Structure formats: C-alpha cells, structure tokens
Amino acid sequence: MKLVSIVGARPQFVKAAPVVRAVERHNLGGGETIDHRIVHTGQHYDDAMSGLFFAELELPAAAVDLGIGSASHAEQTGRMMAAIEEELERHPPDVVLVYGDTNSTLAGALAAVKLNLPTAHLEAGLRSFDRRMPEEINRVAVDHCCDLLLAPTPTALHNLHREGLEESSVLTGDVMLDAVLAASERAAARSKVLGHLGLAPGGYALATLHRAQTTDDCQRLTRLLAALESVATNVAPVVLPLHPRTAKAIGQRLPDWSPGPALRLTPPVGYLDMLTLIGNALVVLTDSGGVQKEAFFLGRPCVTLRPETEWLETVAAEMNVVADDRQAAILEAAGALAARFPIGDRAPAPPPDGPFGDGAAARRVVASVLRLADRPRR
C-alpha cells in the first residue's frame, strides 16, 4: 500500500512523527507493507522551523521538498497545489494523508481529491467558529472534501457529526499526545535548554505568539506584549521563543518596542527543548494550538491568548484559561494558575481514557488509513 503524507509546517512534522513510527511498527508485523512517502511542501524552510524537527523527531528525510516557501495565502496555496498535483501524478499513492489546518493541508487535500485519490485528514473536526482565522477556513474546506476524517477528541468528532460528516469520521485520539509520550524521556536526557538560558524548574513562565490575528494587528500585538511584560514583572520572568512571523511583525510594526529585563526573547527552539521548557514552566501563555495541548499533557497550566480555543477539554479540566488579549485577565489567570499548580505538584499524567486518547492514536490512524485503501474507489 502506497501512503503519501503531505507536511510543510512545524506542527505537521510533530504530528507526522508518531504516524511514521506506527507505519514502521505495522511493517514489522508481517501484514501488507505500507510504503510511506513524505512530501514536504516547503512552507516552513528555516532550519529552526523544519530541518531541526526532522532531526530531533528522527523523521526520514522527505522524499521530495517542493520548496514553495512564503507568500500570500492564495499564491502559497496555489503554488503548492500545482506542485503537489505534479508530484502525486508522478508517484500515484493509494492514500494521501494531510495533517492539521495549514495552507499545506488545504493544498494537499484539494490537489489529492481532484485526482480522485482517497484522502484522509488527521486532526479533523476542530472548530473555533471564527471564520476570520485562516486555519478555520482550511479545516472546514478540508473536512468537507476528504474521504476519511480522523478526529482527535470527542469534541472534534461531535463537530463533524453536526456537519453531516458522520459516515467518514472516526475517533482516533490525538497523535500529539503520542508524540509527547514518545519524546519526553529523550527531552529529559538530551535537552540542555534550562542550563543554557539559566532557568530553574518553576522559575519562569513560557510564552509563544504567532497567530496571524496576533501578529497582523498592531494594537493586539502591543496589548499582548504588554501583558507578557506584566506577567514577567509580577508572576515570573517570561521566556518567549519567537516565531519568525512574530519577529518580523515586531520589527516592522513596533520598531521602537524593546523587551523589559524580565521578558526574554529567543529564536524558535527545537521540539525537545520546547517540551523541556513547557514541562518546567510555572505557567504557559500561548496563542498556539499545539502548545496548549502539550502544556496539558505535561501537567502544566496554560493561559490562552486568543478569544477562543478548539481544545475545550483542557478548559474543562481547569488547566487552561482563555484570556484573549485582556491584560488584567491574563495577569490574573497567570498568577492564579501559578499558585494552584506549583511545579513540584504536577497534575497527574492524562488518564488512558482521557479525551486525547491513550497515546496510541497513530496506530488507529494507520488502521483507518489501511481500511480506506481497501475501500472501492469512487
């Protein structure tokens, strides 16, 4: 069976890693062998956003890097679609697997379904119900054109059912939990980031900012940076590894801004350093989807710097407070969560029957993809 995984952005490398491992395990089992080809669109291309993840996650090199790079939404997506179409025609697979909600996901799904290739969407069914988010447009479009929808949580599955997509949906659990469980020991053994940055466990807060809504709105970006400054001064020093988009936005839109002494800006860090930084942070503040979940998996509380979250389960567990860009709410939530979850008193690891699954989501993904390959063609 020929499987193509289409990836292109940082979170997709993380999500692909457990699938790569599950395919390898499947192939050792003696059944039908899966030939797994990774196609990289080149959406992320800096070593710190791409190469480092392939190395740390021990991913095989992509069979091809389409080298699309950065551009406007339409240009980036269009160029990806043309290049993916050519690639899929040159090496026709039995199933195409797309991940998450980026422009690489949309381009991969559209190119594949228009070639009538059976196509599966991993991390299907997420909804913020905010169509101003480019990711929301991508999710809705991708879910409504793919043949198999792999939902990470019961909430995601419910969203798919509400949209009439019940027949193509299956609950797998979240592969990002598989990834955290697989990498935690390696992170503990290899990451030297705390020493390099002079940080003690529980002695800092970790922040990330990269959403378009954050970086493209000067006033919102200013409010969020001010909120991080106030957390840094009043709760704990803040470490902020900067996505290149955010570094660029600060340089262009806020040329006179510079961080105060307790707000530490760093380049983006690798996955193992990131898990270490999250797992030892007093509190995490983020507008990232993946980082909210990783904080939850690692037993650390989170303040979400967005108006809403797709990961309602983390809020229901009282480990995540959605504070948007309101400075007072962010400061209050960070202080309260830091007091409630001291570093030595971690929340227990997610239970095996928790909303994100049991850490074996990728095995279910592979089983579902094999069933899709066996279905009669449209």
Asked if residues 11 and 354 have their Cβ atoms less than 8 Å apart, the reply is no
294 binds, among ligand UDP, ligand UD1, none (CB under 5 to 8 A by kind): ligand UDP
What character string, x for contact with ligand UD1 (CB under 6 A) and - otherwise, covers 332-351?
A: --------------------
Report the DSSP beta bridge partners of residue 119.
96
Q: Say if residues 142 and 101 touch (Cβ distance below 8 Å).
A: yes
Contacts of ligand UD1 in 3-22 (CB under 6 A): 9-11
- Closer residue to ligand UDP (CB): 285 or 372: 285
Which member of 26, 36, 210, 243 is catalytic?
210
Rounded least distance, CB 25 to ligand UD1, Å = 28
Buried b (16+ CB within 10 A) or exposed e, 79-112: bbbebbbebbeeeebbbbbbbbbbbbbbbbbbbb
Strands of 169-171's sheet in order across = 64-65, 35-40, 2-7, 95-99, 119-122, 148-151, 169-171
CA–chain centroid gap for 287, Å, is 11
Q: What are phi and psi of 331, to 5 degrees?
A: -65, -45
Give the x-and-dash track for 150-189 against ligand UDP (CB under 6 A): ----------------------------------------
Residue count, binding to ligand UDP (CB under 6 A): 16
Provide the CA 23 distance to its chain's centre, in angstroms.
20
Contact between 49 and ligand UD1 (CB under 6 A)? yes
Which amino acid is present at 290?
G
Q: For 212-250, give one letter per residue: b (16+ CB within 10 A) or e.
A: ebbbebeebbebbbebbbbbbeebbbbbbbbbbbbeebb
**Which one among 3, 10, 174, 355 touches ligand UDP, defined by CB under 6 A?**
10
Check if the beta carbon of residue 299 is closer than 8 Å to that of residue 211. no
If we measure between CA atoms, which residue out of 310, 333, 44 comes closest to residue 176? 310
Q: Which two tokens stand for residue 240?
A: 């902020």
- Please list, in sequence order, all residues whose beta carbon lies within 8 angstroms of the beta carbon of residue 148, skipping any fewer than 6 positions away: 118, 119, 120, 121, 168, 170, 368, 369, 372
- Least Å distance, CB 286 to ligand UD1, is 11
For ligand UD1 (CB under 6 A), the number of binding residues is: 19
Q: Using CB under 6 A, pick the residue from 21, 121, 210, 223 that binds ligand UD1.
A: 210
- Quick check: 330 binds ligand UDP (CB under 6 A)? no
User: Residue 118 or residue 152: which is nearer to ligand UD1 going by CB?
Assistant: 152
Q: Any catalytic annotation for residue 243? A: no
User: Do residues 299 and 275 touch, judged by C-beta distance below 8 A?
Assistant: no
Q: Of 268-327, which residues contact ligand UDP (CB under 6 A)?
A: 268-271, 274, 288-291, 294
* Residue closer to ligand UD1, measured from CB, 126 or 321: 126
Print the binding letters for residues 67-86 with ligand UD1: x by CB under 6 A, - otherwise.
---x----------------
**Binds ligand UD1 by CB under 6 A, chosen from 45, 141, 154, 332:** 45
Binding characters for ligand UDP, 192-231, by CB under 6 A (x = yes): ----------------x-x---------------------
In sequence order, what DSSP letters do the residues of 316-357 get, joined into one string?
HTTSEEE-TT-HHHHHHHHHHHHHHS-TTSPPPPPPTTBTTB
**Residue 8 lies near ligand UDP (rule: CB under 6 A):** no
Q: Amino acid identity of 63?
A: A
Q: How far is the CB of 293 from ligand UDP (least distance, A)?
A: 8
Give catalytic residues, as residue numbers.
Answer: 210
Interface residues toward ligand UD1, by CB under 6 A: 9-11, 43-46, 49, 70, 101-103, 134-135, 210, 243-245, 248
Binding site for ligand UDP (CB under 6 A): 10-11, 14, 208, 210, 241, 268-271, 274, 288-291, 294
